[in-house]
Each structure stands twice: as C-alpha cells, then as structure tokens.
Amino acid sequence: MSDPASDHVAPPRVPLEEMERFAFEALDAVHADAETSEALVRALSHASIHGVDTHGYRLLPHYLAGFAGGRLNPRPTPRLVHQKGGAAVLDGDDAHGSRATYMATEEAVRRAREHGVGAVAIRNSSHFGAAGAYAIDIAQNGMMGFAFCNSDPFVRLHDGASRFHGTNPIAVAAPTGEGDPWLLDMATSAIPFNKVQLSQSLGIPLAAETASDAEGRNVTDPMAAEMLAPLGGAFGYKGAGLAGISELLSTALSDAPLSTEIAPMISDDMSTPRGLGAFVLALDPAAFAGAEVFFGIVRRYLESIRSSATRPGGTVLAAGDREWAEAERRRTKGITLDPTAVEAMADFARRNDLAPLALSNA
C-alpha cells in the first residue's frame, strides 16, 4: 500500500502531442491499421485532455496488450449487419471500441441527416473508453448526441448482493452552435471502481452508501468493498434503473451479452474477444424546430445555470464546465499519467525499440 503522502507528489505529465506521437508509434508496433489508431488516439485524447484519467492514456498499455494477445482485432472490418431508415446494427469485428463506435456515430449522423434521427446499436465491439467522446462527436456535427454501453459487472442492484450491472454510463451532448456543448458523461454507479482502489491505497474511508461488502451491506472501509452501489443511496432503485437503460440499449437491440455474461476486462486471458455491445443516437435539430432554435435554447439553458444562485460555499456548474476548464489547463500544462502506466509504456518502448515517452517532469 502506498503512503498517503504520495497523494501530494505531482503526477507524471506529458504534452498531449508527445503522448499522441508515442501512442501512434506503439499502435503501429502492434499492427493496428490507420482507422484503428486514429479512433483510439482520438478517444484517449478526449478523456485525458478533459481530466477523465480513468479512461485516458493510462489504458493504452492495456489496449496494446489486447492487440498483441488477440483480444482486439488490429485490422478489423466493422460492417452494418442490419439497417433500415434511421436504424442500423454495426458488427465491430472485434475492433477496439473506439474504432467501432466512431464508425457508429458517423453512421448515426449520416442517417439523422437523412431521416431526422439516427440510431446505431453495436455488437462484437470492446471497451470504448469514455462514453462522452462519442456523444461529443455527434454534437460536433450539430446534433444532440447520446452514447451508452454496458460492461463487466461491478455494481449491485438496489438491495442486491452480487455484482450485476457494469458502471453502465449515460453520455449526452447538446451543441450550442458556438463554443463548447452541454456534456453529461456519468456512470450510473455512485462512484467508479477506481475510487475504491484509490481509497484502498490512501487508506481513507469511502463516502456513505457508495460501496458494499460481499453480502451487499453498505461499507465505508475500502478494504471491505466488494461491489459498488447504484447511484442514489436510499433511492438506489433509480440508479439501478438508469443502469438498465444503458444495459438494454447496448444488448437487446444488437444481440450483445448482458453485463453478467461478459468476460472480465482485467484478466489473464488477453486473447479472447469480449463481444461487447453499445448504442449511439443522433437527433438532428434541423428536422425538428430548427438548428438555430435548438442552439438558442441550449445557450439560454447554459447561461441560466451559470448565473444561478449558489448555496453558501457552493459553485454551480453546467454539465461539462469542469471538463472545459480542465482541458484549458491541460493544453498548457500537459496531461497527467499515473506511475504504473508510465512504467508500462517505458517497458513497451524498450521491447519494441520505440523512442520512449518524453515526460515534462521526468
């Protein structure tokens, strides 16, 4: 267990451009094709620049091992296996989740442009990183974007005593026609599992009603935490229900496995594809009351949040505001990595004869 004081040591930092340089070379070394490398770097940069470090470049070594081991297909041919009007099912051919999902958002936007609404359900994909990357991609096309996935189970049901749902995110982005969109990217669990791991390593208690022991009883001792609680505390049936939205959208439309049926992400088996599902939706404002009406109302909504009364000591933020501020800082100061990821990347560089990652503060 690391010393609590280590929390105060500045984390390793690297300029985004250098991180991307290294990622492209590393992906080349595992024979990833250009579409895969571009999609993966784009998704990881989205997460790392916006401060979502759990889903950022710390996962690169894990993904590289997946390509090397065969779990991930480095040169996939994702294709539509069902389609009708605004709807389609995309088979990812065991692509990295970013490769399959960016193809799905492109397809959803194209269909929404033609049919007003575009929805693509995905199967035979894999972990796609931060859901917000795909919602924002749709918003950057001027549409309201949604992204959902399920994943291997860490979260109990309300009053449950087993790991049932994944952290099953819901991500939604609404463009404003100028500047940053409104962006919600939330897990439907109370906290992410890495919060438990962090509390374990720092020896600090968990917040109440966020994690449970093996019998499903709430615990604050992180060493006793066996599963996460759904969002909502005493009203956890709502959090479990929200997880169910992501679960059903990601499985029942595309024929993908339920969270309880998915092989673990962290495992010795890096050769078997995991067959994950996901779902994206694009709504084109032009097919409703018009793009300018839409953008105007989203802007009015954002302004009204930002000028809203705050409680003593509080700060009111619109969904996404924290991320835009963090991106501003990180574009100057670089993204952060954790020491374990840095070591894994150094090791990968040595084994593959790549120029090592040049940290800003090594």
Interaction residues for a second copy, span 287-306 (CB under 8 A)? 287-290, 293-294, 297-298, 300-301, 304-305
Contact 115, 86 (CB under 8 A): yes
Window 94-123: residues binding a second copy (CB under 8 A): 114-119, 121, 123
Question: Min. distance of Cβ 176 from a second copy in angstroms?
Answer: 10
Question: Min. distance of Cβ 107 from a second copy in angstroms?
Answer: 12
Cα dihedral sign, 17-133-52-76: negative
Report the C-alpha gap between 327 and 313 in whole angstroms.
24
The single residue among 308, 332, 351, 353 that binds a second copy, judged by CB under 8 A, is: 308
Question: Min. distance of Cβ 136 from a second copy in angstroms?
Answer: 14
**Angle at alpha carbon of residue 336, lines to 276 and 19, rounded to 5°:** 75
Q: Please name the helix (run of DSSP H) or strand (run of DSSP E) that holds residue 68, with its range, or none.
A: helix 60-69
Kindly state whether residue 309 participates in binding a second copy, applying the rule CB under 8 A: yes
Q: Enter the DSSP assignment of 183.
A: E
Residue closer to a second copy, measured from CB, 44 or 184: 184
Size of site (CB under 8 A) for a second copy = 91
Question: Among the candidate windows 46-54, 59-67, 278-286, 337-345, which touches a second copy by CB under 8 A?
Answer: 278-286
Q: Please name the helix (run of DSSP H) or strand (run of DSSP E) that holds residue 350, with its range, or none.
A: helix 339-352
Report the C-alpha gap between 316 and 308 in whole angstroms.
7
Q: What does 90-121 look like in DSSP terms, one character per residue?
A: EE-TT--HHHHHHHHHHHHHHHHHHHSEEEEE
Distances (CA, A) of 317 to 168, 184, 294, 303: 23, 12, 21, 10
Residues 196-215, one symbol each (x = binds a second copy by CB under 8 A, - = not), give -----------x-x--x--x
Residues 225-264, one symbol each (x = binds a second copy by CB under 8 A, - = not), give ------xxxxx-xxxxxx-xx-xxx-xxxxx--x-x----
The single residue among 5, 159, 178, 332 that binds a second copy, judged by CB under 8 A, is: 159
Residue closer to a second copy, measured from CB, 30 or 298: 298
The single residue among 104, 144, 206, 344 that binds a second copy, judged by CB under 8 A, is: 144
Q: Which residues, other chains included, contact 144 with Cβ-Cβ below 8 Å and sequence gap of 6+?
A: 138, 172, 173, 174, 175, 282, 283, 285, 294
Question: Among the candidate windows 20-28, 59-67, 284-292, 344-352, which touches a second copy by CB under 8 A?
Answer: 284-292
Residue closer to a second copy, measured from CB, 288 or 360: 288
Question: Min. distance of Cβ 195 from a second copy in angstroms?
Answer: 11
Residue closer to a second copy, measured from CB, 220 or 352: 220
Contact 262, 276 (CB under 8 A): yes
Window 60-89: residues binding a second copy (CB under 8 A): 81-89
Contact 118, 105 (CB under 8 A): no
φ and ψ of 268, to 5 deg: -75, -20
Residues 20-59, one symbol each (x = binds a second copy by CB under 8 A, - = not), give ----------------------------------------
Residue closer to a second copy, measured from CB, 34 or 289: 289
Kindly state whether residue 352 participates in binding a second copy, applying the rule CB under 8 A: no
CB atoms within 10 A of CB 19: 26
Question: Min. distance of Cβ 81 from a second copy in angstroms?
Answer: 8
Cα dihedral sign, 352-330-72-66: positive
Kindly state whether residue 217 participates in binding a second copy, applying the rule CB under 8 A: yes
